[in-house]
Structure 1
């Protein structure tokens, strides 16, 4: 009799433990998502590198180095969001969850590659190269831009994978993943326009199309920090995991 009561109480305590753990996961993932927005000031710090004569010009390199550090933090945060969310989203679809982790790692890889390109320019500049190195500088700048194009494309893939899982599970309000699912094809269209060098009104329209993805990621980060996952959805997941008696 006592053993039965203990067992029943223990089973009732498990959902609360599950919700507590999911809240910690949501908080960690949300904070990491917000950290990824450090990429915005990083681009401002990179402004000196855009000067065609950067390699042979005067001035300190501190701003570019700070930009590189910020992007490294962003890359690590990208991986962190996927690692943090994986234990929860894998219950909705392990294949898509693994795909999301892989895409996030790939996105981080493109960021690291871009940082290497700019830090190489800093090294060349500090070594006192001559005008003959300007061609190398332009090549490294082009390399960064192409890797950055990958950073523009992969968030669309992330939005489809993670957005689908969150929309299906209702772990967060459906309007949030819906923003990502709407923004994904728009983001791909923007990348295609850039790749083919299209300019004019179409370029302006597609540039604005990146906003839904930005709003999706920022609002998801804020929601996870402030509210966490839907407790009803978490409890339903736990009930589905319990063996039938």
Structure 2
């Protein structure tokens, strides 16, 4: 069972790495990309943009790594769903990587924008708007589609198998449901809607710490292996 214990720790650390990297990238990138003069802003904050992009890339690698590392454990419960989970997390990582490419391209565009001056500013602004939209769309699909599907699959398998306590996987179900509510209501610009992210974010960290400290339930793994 030592190999399963090691896998649990790695998966837990990858969850923590992904969350920390994502949170720091939001802090660094959102004020710049959300500015009204974002082309000027990105070019004036090159180092911050590069670091933020690198953090998104770390997030992308971590989420894909979670799907790959946990697959052998989930496979014993349901091979098809385990493969679906791994695929969804890898897709999430790919979409986040596309977001990074859009951000870095926007940085290069912003630098050229300052050199070009006012006469051709509209061309750069149009291209910049397209890059922002492409990056946002990739990130949206990564989170709203790939992440939510993977979280649903994971918590279903955890709940059914009892690899972790059922209260923890049940909490995950609630968090995913609230996340879907968030995306359904987001177009209406409701105040404090962002609090719907909190349950799944906290659940993931509790789950990650559980894996690092206690790991998966050995009896649940043994039971699945005996089938």
Same topology, TM > 0.5: yes
Structure 1 residue ranges without an equivalent (≥5): 1-18
| CA offset digits 1:23-75 (Å, max 9, x no partner) | 01101111111111110010111122322223235623100110110111110
The separation in 2 between residues aligned to 1:137 and 1:28, in whole angstroms, is 39
TM-score by length of 1: 0.83
Alignment counterpart, residue 41 of structure 1, candidates 24, 35, 40: 24
Is 1:150 the counterpart of 2:141? The answer is yes
Is 1:50 the counterpart of 2:41? The answer is no
Structure 2 counterpart of 1:89: 74
The separation in 2 between residues aligned to 1:50 and 1:217, in whole angstroms, is 27
The separation in 2 between residues aligned to 1:60 and 1:199, in whole angstroms, is 29
Structure 1 stretches of at least 4 aligned residues deviating more than 6 Å after TM superposition: none
| CA offset digits 1:139-194 (Å, max 9, x no partner) | 22222222222233132211210111111111111122111111222211211222
Is 1:182 the counterpart of 2:174? The answer is yes
Pairwise CA distance, 1:129: 4.0
Q: Is the 8 A contact 1:75 1:108 kept in 2?
A: yes
Report the structure, 1 or 2, having the larger helix content: 2
Aligned residues: 217
Is 1:228 the counterpart of 2:218? The answer is no
Alignment counterpart, residue 87 of structure 2, candidates 102, 112, 117: 102
Question: What's the C-alpha RMSD, in Å, of the aligned pairs?
Answer: 1.7
Q: Is the 8 A contact 2:76 2:221 kept in 1?
A: no
The 5 A counterparts of 1:15-164 are: 19-37=1-19, 38-46=21-29, 47-56=31-40, 59-127=44-112, 128-130=115-117, 131-132=121-122, 133-153=124-144, 154-164=146-156
Q: Is the 8 A contact 1:32 1:80 kept in 2?
A: yes
The separation in 2 between residues aligned to 1:185 and 1:60, in whole angstroms, is 37
Structure 2 residue ranges without an equivalent (≥5): none
